[in-house]
Amino acid sequence: MGKLGRMRIAVIVADGFEQSELDVPVAALRESGVAVDVLAPDEAHHRHVRGEAGGRETAGVQPDRLLADASPGAYDGLVIPGGIESPRAMRGSDLHLHWVRNMVERGRPIAAICHGPWLLAAADVVGDRLVTSHPDCRDDLERAGARWVDQEVVVDRGVVTSRRPQDLPAFVRAYIDLLEREYLELACPPAPMQEQPIDGGAVQLTSRGTAPSLP
């Protein structure tokens, strides 16, 4: 098991997701030891969600759970693959938008690629945040307050975004790097500052809980 073995990540999709934008991140996360749950949008898709690649239907995915049966608080992060149909459907879903907002409010790392950032705009969580995406999403993101750039990957305040399947290597690497930093902060939080009296009644703040040596 990798060093991220205590983490659990949710992946949200609907029919028409881009197959590689699910398969590649999920495989990399599991290789790093992360537990990954693909969440079905509704009961009608609890056995299968249809994927696509280049406009053609693909094998899709068998979800692990229903979104309605899961709680965002049980997950350490969220991945939103692209494709056109999938993000379009999810941005009209109050439950999907609730998940996105909950993750941002809790400071959990989010990764969205291609048209996936549409959900970030619809959830109104991109205000003054630097992002990228498929160019089709640019106007919606900027109307939601984002600062859009055209580059393979952008990381800003816990949100990783990329433009297209060709950016997947950089996208996955950036997200796993973000998760590793998150894991280290959870595993090794900084020691609290403590007040220590020294000569003359002054107080010295230290992070180790001990006063510095006096001459």
| DSSP category for residue 164 | S
- Residue with the two structure tokens 């439950």: 95
pLDDT given for residue 207 in this prediction:
43
In the predicted structure, residue 197 carries a pLDDT above the cut 70: no
pLDDT given for residue 212 in this prediction:
42
pLDDT given for residue 128 in this prediction:
94
In the predicted structure, residue 117 carries a pLDDT above the cut 80: yes
**Over the range 178-201, which residues count as b (16 or more CB within 10 Å of their CB) and which as e?**
bbeebbeeeeeeeeeeeeeeeeee
Q: How far apart are CA 99 and CA 147, in angstroms?
A: 23
In the predicted structure, residue 204 carries a pLDDT above the cut 70: no
pLDDT given for residue 190 in this prediction:
60
Query: Would you say 48 and 74 are in contact if contact means Cβ atoms under 8 Å apart?
Result: no
Query: Would you say 106 and 76 are in contact if contact means Cβ atoms under 8 Å apart?
Result: no
pLDDT given for residue 4 in this prediction:
83
pLDDT given for residue 182 in this prediction:
84
Q: Which of 3, 16, 14, 34 is nearest to 172 (CA)?
A: 34
Summarize the confidence of residues 6-14 as an average pLDDT.
97
Distances in Å between the Cα of 103 and the Cα atoms of 78, 99, 109, 110, 195 are 7, 6, 7, 7, 35
Report the length, in residues, of the chain: 215
Query: Would you say 21 and 13 are in contact if contact means Cβ atoms under 8 Å apart?
Result: no
Query: What is the per-residue pLDDT across 54-106, written as a single tens digit (0 to 9) for each?
Result: 889 999 999 999 999 999 999 999 999 999 999 999 999 999 999 999 999 99
Q: How far apart are CA 112 and CA 133, in angstroms?
A: 8
In the predicted structure, residue 2 carries a pLDDT above the cut 70: no
Summarize the confidence of residues 159-173 as an average pLDDT.
99
Q: How far apart are CA 131 and CA 147, in angstroms?
A: 6
Q: Which of 11, 113, 114, 159 is catalytic?
A: 114
114 catalytic? Reply is yes
Give the CA count within 13 Å in the CB-facing half-sphere of 2: 16
Query: Would you say 56 and 26 are in contact if contact means Cβ atoms under 8 Å apart?
Result: no
pLDDT given for residue 196 in this prediction:
55
